Structure 1
Amino acid sequence: MENSKNISWEIKVPLLTNTAILTDMLKGFGLTYIIVVLLMGFIFLLQGETEGFLQIVWMFALIVGGLMVLSALIMLIVFRNSYHIRYTLDSEGATFETLDRRVKMANRVAIGAGFLGGGQAAGAGLLARSQETISVPWKNVNQVLYNEKRGRITLRNTWRNVMIIYTGKGAYQEAANAVRGNVKEASAEKPARKGNALVKMLLTTVFVVACVAATFAVPFETELFVKILVLCFALATVWLSRLMAYPVLLGLAYMIYEILVQGFEVSTWTLVSVHTSTGFGFLSGDEWAALVLGFLGIAGLAVYCILSLTGRTSSALEGDQAGEN
């Protein structure tokens, strides 16, 4: 090694017997379960249908539990409880490279099967292959957690882990010194970050959910599926990619179309006498207030999507990749 800050090593990381990996797996599945249950509960509550909610809760609990067991079996049988990795630390950042042939072969089989079958496996395989090599620039690292006892160094930005470096006990000190030196140099050059990215994303999530909830107040019938689609893609815009804003805008346009068609439709209402008017003409004062609230929700989502697509705001993932978080 010519420079103590530039080192590279290979290691086979245990899987099922690794507390960090098991903890991350439990957090991932647990968070997925909580998000799905909250979204379904939100939709059931706004629709006034709470009877089937407990069945949904139990059904997703069984699904998530089954996926956890399947993941454990794959780690044990397919990967034989180990994962072969190469780490490289240099002046630019930390790089993680998958060396396990079984992982690479599985990714390529998924790509080929997906293209041949015309299914989604190709996309999943391409995504997995893109994760075979991951680099984290030092300028994107805001905090480092050192665990000499377990031979582990965790790189974090302002709100999450961006890479866990496994060193084993033999290479720990050398790797820790390299990380300290490189992070110190990068920290001296980068500007101070403003605010907490997690707080910002959570507040944006609350705003998005509130806007979607407002659309349920509209006194005309609109497709429930479209509202669910808008909610899911709007949340994906907040956390994953600004490109998810396009389906949101399409969904909002369809909702406006549904409202206008029903609002301008002429109909007859009979009580004591016969009244003929448009849907808007039959609305009461409270219903007009609900309609305005619904349009405010639609407008809020539309403005957020436009800000995202024009680069005025970025998703959590894009902020991580750009070093903003």
Structure 2
Amino acid sequence: MNGKQVDKEGITFETRIPVFNNPLLWRQLLIVSLLSSGFVLVLLLGLNLFEDNWEQIPKSFLVWVVLAGGMFSAFTVILMLLFRGVVTRYTISEKGVVQATLTPYRKFAKKLPFLALLFGGKQGMTAAGAGMLAQSREVIFAPWKDISLVELYPSRMEIRLKNQWRTVIQIICLPENYREIAELAQKSVSIKPEKGPDSAFLQVVFTFLTLLLGIALFPRLPIHVPGAFVIPMMVFAFPAIWSTTKFRKISAAIILITLLAGVFLAFYFGEVDFSGEGALYAASIEFLSFAFFSALALRGIFLGKTAEKE
């Protein structure tokens, strides 16, 4: 192990991805724990809002934190006991980077479908989680054309290859080849592509938040915006997110106008009531929804590039 081979196919070597001294792994583990338990939070908050149990909102967040902490602790125990470093082979060439997991725990990983579901199965997950990805991601290939950023961490002999929004591959180098691989990576992505439209991932996230925060406005909240205003906001949010034509800016403008009109009329007709128990908690979620739709509209109006020539 820890051998290095240079041939026409590029640089090939084997190393062990650390667990303890791996900030990327722990950050990913925390994010996965928070997002996985987040579905419970969404369900609890939905019940709180639609059943007018606003005073229970803080307890719902507490349940979420406890559940996320429990999942993080469970994953940590599994990492400590079973995945104490993942043996990995890297091949770095002019075409890209190939990472192959050689860990002996692949057979055991087959008995962990839950972890495999959470950590694997989608292109672009990093080598930091390779121990638990052994079954679902034994080999990963990242062509240079898909990489837009190289991050170097000399103290850990670590190189992170990123696209516009995530780490694609984490390379743990050997002391004798770190500089060579770093130079090759920087040279291969030295010409960065111009920033284009939102990536599909961001569009999916915005769509999910549109549905989530839009539905949150339907119950009667402290600032009551009727569904006649909420529905158009949600409908026009989709072209504001996905369209690449001038209709994107038009849709964004409609969202902003509808939101402002709905809030103005709520105050004008006295549809504002903060007297209920827990009203401030419910209003906080409502303000979050208002902020999201406002930001989405402003982004579409001022930052949204279209495919049509002006």
Q: Normalising by structure 2, what TM-score?
A: 0.58
Mapped to 2, the partners of 1:71 and 1:122 lie a distance apart of: 12
Task: Tell me the distance in 1 between the aligned counterparts of 2:141 and 2:183.
Answer: 19
Q: 1:172 to 1:305 in 2, by over 3 A?
A: closer
* Matched residue, 2:248: none
Q: Percent identity of the aligned residues? A: 19
Segment of structure 1 superposing worse, 192-201 or 47-56: 192-201
Alignment counterpart, residue 2 of structure 1, candidates 3, 7, 13: 7
- Partner Cα distance (1:126, 1:77) in 2: 20
**By percentage of residues, which structure has more helix?**
1
Q: TM-score, length-normalised on structure 1?
A: 0.55
Contact 1:10–1:84 (CA under 8 A) maintained in structure 2: yes
Alignment RMSD: 4.0
- Superposed counterparts of 1:258-273, under 5 Å: none
Whole-Å separation in 2 of the counterparts to 1:146 and 1:152: 6
Query: Aligned to 1:16, what secondary structure does the other structure show?
Result: coil
- Runs of at least 5 residues in structure 1 that lack an aligned partner in the other structure: 112-119, 218-286, 308-325
Structure 2 CA distance for aligned equivalents of residues 299 and 36 of structure 1: 26
Q: Distance in 2 between matches of 1:110 and 1:61?
A: 24
Q: In structure 2, what is the equivalent of residue 71 of structure 1?
A: 75
Contact 1:154/1:164 (8 A) holds in 2: yes
| 1:137 CA displacement | 1.5
SS class of match (2:99): strand
Paired residue total: 224
Which of 181, 184, 187 is the matching residue for 1:181?
187
Residues 196 and 293 (structure 1), Cα distance of their counterparts in 2 relative to 1, 3 Å cut = closer
Q: Kindly indicate whether the alpha-carbon contact (under 8 Å) linking 2:49 and 2:219 is maintained by their aligned counterparts in 1.
A: no
Q: Is the 8 A contact 1:151 1:172 kept in 2?
A: yes
Question: Of the candidates 139, 156, 167, which is equivalent to residue 161 of structure 1?
Answer: 167
In structure 1, the residue corresponding to 2:159 is in which secondary structure?
Answer: strand
* C-alpha contact 1:159 1:196 (8 A) present in aligned 2: no
- Asked if residue 13 in structure 1 is aligned to residue 17 in structure 2, the reply is yes
Question: What is the 5 A alignment of 1:291-302?
Answer: 291-293=227-229, 295-296=231-232, 299-300=235-236
Match of 2:29 in 1: 25
- 1-structure distance, mates of 2:43, 2:147: 32
Following TM superposition, by how much is the alpha carbon of 1:42 offset from its aligned partner in structure 2, in angstroms? Answer: 6.0
Q: Which has the larger radius of gyration?
A: 1
Amino acid at match of 1:153: I
Q: Quick check: 1:87–1:95 contact (8 Å CA) kept in 2?
A: yes
**SS of corresponding position for 1:73:** helix
Report the equivalent of 1:48.
Answer: 52
